[in-house]
Structures are given as structure tokens and as C-alpha cells.
């Protein structure tokens, strides 16, 4: 019997709603009944290919340009946040340094704003410069509806609708994943940077 490690258990539990939804297509889907791969079904259900703009002013699409065939980290933030966002960003800066030159080569880091009306590419660029982030880490903005769709589809939500009204309640989590291998996990953004880097490393070279 194969051994289930603590890391594998945590990663599976963290994204259980995402993986569990592979059992059936969404009602009304035009592809229902068609034979598609689990990877394609996961993409359809959880990775909408919405247009976004990087802090460098480049136009990208979420799945085609940022996720497909890549290993990534994803978190939500906003620059006017005074609590979790700056602390999480500071932790991720340390994570980026721990991963070294693998960032931008083996793994890509994405921070998506939940306040696109204020967080323009220029504002996000200033924020990135303030924290001295390095290459391989993009801060992204776009249309409010598209970012909200991503927030929901990626699971950055609370099951309590009243709690979920305040998006700031859900910005402390960092998701990490290997898109082609369909390996996904999550951890608190305020966890120790060495621990976060170790968890991310698990999907960089899956066993």
C-alpha cells in the first residue's frame, strides 16, 4: 500500500473542493457527456481564462499565459490593506529569496488584487518596488467581475455568505500548484517563510 505523507494529505485536503468537482461536469455544460481529461475538466471548472494586466502593463490571460504548463503560487491582496497583505507580501519576499533562481524558471508567483479600481498597474508596480520583489513575480489587476470570478473559482471564499462579503477575510492564503500534474495545495501566508518554501518545493519536483 502506498504511503500517504503529511504533505500529500495537507495538499489534498486544501484543494478537496477543487479536485472533488472533477467527478461531474457543470450542469448545462456544452461538453457534458464528452470524453475530456481530468486536467481539462479542472481547467474548465476552476481556471477561467480571463484577461488581466500585469504591474508592468502587459496584457495576459489567466490560464493560457500564467497557468498552463507552469508551477505557480497564487494569492490575493490589495495595496491599501494595512494588516495581512503587507505581512503576507513580506513573507513571500523571503520565500522568493529562499527559492532563489527557481522563481521565474521553475515556479512563478502571482499576486492578484481584490481592489482593481484603485490598484492600477502603476500602483501595483509601486507596491512591488516598495517590497523589492524580484523577477518571476507578477502583480495583477483587471476587471472587478473577472477578479471576483477568479477568487470564487480558485476557492478564496468563506462558506458563510456574511463573512464572505468582506473579501479582506480571504486574502491570507497562498495556493501553490503544478498545473500539468494537477497537484495543488494551500498554506497560510503568515506561516514561516521556510515552511512555505518547503511546501512549494513539493510541487516543483513531484515524486
Q: What is the CATH number of the domain that holds 78?
A: 3.40.30.10
Does the residue 1 lie in any domain? no
Does the residue 194 lie in any domain? yes
Query: Average pLDDT in the 135-157 region?
Result: 96
- Tens of pLDDT, residue by residue over 41-75, are 999 999 999 999 999 999 999 999 999 999 999 99
Does the residue 29 lie in any domain? no
Does the residue 32 lie in any domain? no
Query: Average pLDDT in the 78-102 region?
Result: 95
Bridge partner residues of 52 (DSSP): 60
Overall pTM surpassing 0.85 (yes/no): no
Residue 198 CB burial class (10 angstroms; 0-12, 13-18, ≥19): middle
- Give the total number of structural domains in the chain: 1
Give the least confident one: 18-32, 34-48, 82-96, 174-188: 18-32
Q: How would you classify residue 155: left for phi > 0, otherwise alpha for psi between -120 and 50, otherwise beta?
A: left
Instruction: Provide the residue range defining the domain that includes 153.
Output: 6-22+38-204
Does residue 188 have a pLDDT over 80? Answer: yes
Does the residue 188 lie in any domain? yes
Q: What confidence score (pLDDT) does residue 18 get?
A: 55
Q: Are the C-beta atoms of residues 41 and 22 closer than 8 Å to each other?
A: yes
Distance CA 177, CA 202 (A): 9
| DSSP codes, the chain | -----HHHHHHHHHTHHHHHGGGSPPTT-TTTTS---HHHHHHHHH----EEEETTS-EEEIIIIIITT-EEEEEEE-TT-SSHHHHHHHHHHHHHHHHGGGBTTTBEEEEEES-TTT--HHHHHHHHHHTT--TTEEEEE--HHHHHHHHHHTT---SSHHHHTSGGGG-SEEEEEETTTTEEEEEETTS-HHHHHHHHHHHHS--
Does the residue 28 lie in any domain? no
First to last CA, the chain: 16
Does the residue 30 lie in any domain? no
> If you average pLDDT over every residue of the chain, what do you get?
85
Question: Kind of pairing, strands 71-77 and 108-113?
Answer: parallel
Does the residue 93 lie in any domain? yes
Distance CA 157, CA 165 (A): 9
Amino acid at each position: 500500500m502506498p504511503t500517504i505523507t503529511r504533505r500529500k494529505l495537507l495538499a489534498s485536503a486544501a484543494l478537496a473542493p477543487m479536485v472533488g468537482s472533477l467527478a461531474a461536469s457543470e450542469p448545462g455544460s456544452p461538453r457534458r457527456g464528452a470524453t475530456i481529461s481530468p486536467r481539462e475538466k479542472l481547467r474548465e471548472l476552476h481556471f477561467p481564462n480571463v484577461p488581466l494586466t500585469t504591474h508592468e502593463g502587459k496584457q495576459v490571460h489567466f490560464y493560457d499565459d500564467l497557468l498552463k504548463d507552469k508551477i505557480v503560487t497564487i494569492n490575493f491582496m490589495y495595496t491599501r490593506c494595512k494588516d495581512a497583505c503587507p505581512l503576507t507580501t513580506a513573507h513571500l519576499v523571503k520565500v522568493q529569496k529562499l527559492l532563489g533562481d527557481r522563481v521565474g524558471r521553475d515556479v512563478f508567483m502571482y499576486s492578484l488584487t481584490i481592489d482593481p479600481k484603485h490598484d492600477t498597474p502603476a500602483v501595483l508596480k509601486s507596491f512591488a518596488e516598495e517590497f523589492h520583489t524580484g523577477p518571476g513575480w507578477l502583480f495583477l489587476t483587471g476587471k472587478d467581475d473577472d477578479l471576483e470570478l477568479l477568487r470564487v473559482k480558485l476557492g478564496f471564499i468563506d462558506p458563510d455568505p456574511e463573512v464572505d462579503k468582506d473579501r479582506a477575510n480571504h486574502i491570507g492564503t497562498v495556493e501553490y500548484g503544478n498545473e500539468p500534474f494537477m497537484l495543488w495545495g494551500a498554506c497560510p501566508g503568515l506561516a514561516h517563510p521556510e515552511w512555505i518554501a518547503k511546501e512549494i518545493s513539493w510541487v516543483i519536483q513531484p515524486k
